[in-house]
Amino acid sequence: MANVTNEMILQAVKELSAQLINHKDETNQRFEHMDKCFEQIDKRFEQIDQRFEQIDKRFEQIDQRFERLEKEIGQIKEQLTDLATGQKILVEELFNNKTEIKRIKNVLNIY
CA dihedral 58, 59, 64, 68 (to 10 degrees): 100
Phi and psi at 69, nearest 5°, equal -65, -40
Q: Which residues, other chains included, contact 67 with Cβ-Cβ below 8 Å and sequence gap of 6+?
A: none
For the chain, the structural domain boundaries read 1-85
Its pTM surpasses 0.75? no
Q: What is the pLDDT along the chain (111 residues), one digit of tens a residue?
A: 677 788 888 898 999 999 999 999 999 999 999 999 999 999 999 999 999 999 999 999 999 999 999 999 999 999 999 999 999 999 999 999 999 988 888 888 876
Decide: helix, strand or coil at residue 1: coil
